[in-house]
Amino acid sequence: MSNFPEEWRFELGIYVKKIVDWLTTNLGGIFEAVSSVILWFMIYVEDFLLWLPWWLVIAAVFILSWRYISKLAAVLFPLLLFLIGTFGYWDLMMYTLAIILTSVLISILLGIPVGILMAYSRLTESFMRPVLDFMQTMPSMVYLIPAMMLFGMGKVPAVFATTVYAIPPVIRLTNLAIRQVSKEMVEAAASFGSSPWQILSKVQLPQAMPTIMAGINQTTMMALAMVVIASMVGAKGLGMEVLISLNRIDVARGFEAGLGIVILAIIIDRLSQGIARRYKVNEES
């Protein structure tokens, strides 16, 4: 009596596998085209980041930190980046940054329109809420399974899994931001003859942008949290070094690679928050 009855077993995973098999068989050309575009963009981003002189990247972080954060950060962050270079991980950091930038860009291009649609349609919001809940609660490693089945191994499945895991915050906060725009402002714009597109582009989006920027910040941090998981499908970067060190029980190598990820996360987080705060101040003034 203590065991669950075997005859009531329902193997849902079999049907999910059949769906994925059907997608790969009937829509394989579409996935190959998407994979080619993402790979093309990734290669250009990686080549550009690797082409940049290390001192120029550090100088850019210094200038951005001085302007958007504080003088202390302007001194500390370049030193921390220099520290990653002394570990021998500069190129791997650029590979990691390329995955993050590509995933965040795709999340923005897809997430903001979906968030706007949710703000305008209660039906869409009712449908998307449980979908976003599912995406945020599903263990991140699970996303690698359909990613590998649809796109194989390498950079593209890493970007796909990272995007699926990281996109919910920008969708949620875009929806929230548009809904929080003052109805009086929207009605005033409509009374002056503004079209729905003009109301959205000239009233709602500018007012909602600080909150949307916060969503982009959260999406970026979630993308960073996926770098180690993404390395399991063959994506180069700091996450791969962490995975190798785990397999070999190499504490020194794992500590340096892990510290590099932490440093990169802190710098990106503080810079994006600083830019968002400056944007909000400019909007309010």
Does residue 25 fall inside a structural domain? yes
Does residue 241 fall inside a structural domain? yes
Distances (CA, A) of 67 to 76, 106, 216, 282: 14, 27, 20, 14
Does residue 140 fall inside a structural domain? yes
For all residues of the chain together, what is the average pLDDT?
Answer: 84
Question: How many domains are contained in the chain?
Answer: 1
- The predicted pLDDT at position 108 comes to 92
Burial of 239 (0-12, 13-18, 19+ CB in 10 A): buried
pLDDT (average), residues 259-279: 84
Percent over 90 (pLDDT), the chain: 18
Q: Tokens at residue 241, please? A: 């070094």
For residue 281, is pLDDT > 70? no
- The predicted pLDDT at position 283 comes to 58
Task: Write out pLDDT tens, residues 44-64.
Answer: 888 999 999 999 999 999 999
Highest averaged pLDDT of the listed ranges 59-73, 200-214, 266-280: 59-73
Does residue 261 fall inside a structural domain? yes
pLDDT (average), residues 125-143: 83
- pTM for the whole structure: 0.85
Q: Tokens at residue 252, please? A: 């020194």
For residue 107, is pLDDT > 60? yes
pLDDT (average), residues 15-44: 82
Does residue 64 fall inside a structural domain? no
Task: Write out pLDDT tens, residues 153-204.
Answer: 778 888 888 888 889 999 999 999 898 888 888 888 888 777 888 888 888 8
pLDDT (average), residues 122-149: 82
CATH number at residue 272: 1.10.3720.10
- The predicted pLDDT at position 284 comes to 56
pLDDT (average), residues 130-158: 80
Confirm if 161 and 147 have CB atoms less than 8 A apart: yes
Q: Using alpha carbons only, how large is the chain's radius of gyration in Å?
A: 22
Does residue 96 fall inside a structural domain? yes
Does residue 6 fall inside a structural domain? no
Does residue 58 fall inside a structural domain? no
Cα angle 248, 252, 254 (rounded to 5 degrees) comes to 60
Three-class secondary structure assignment of 187-235: HHHHHCCCCHHHHHHHHHHHHHHHHHHHHHHHHHHHHHHCHHHHHHHCC
Domain range spanning residue 210? Answer: 11-51+87-284
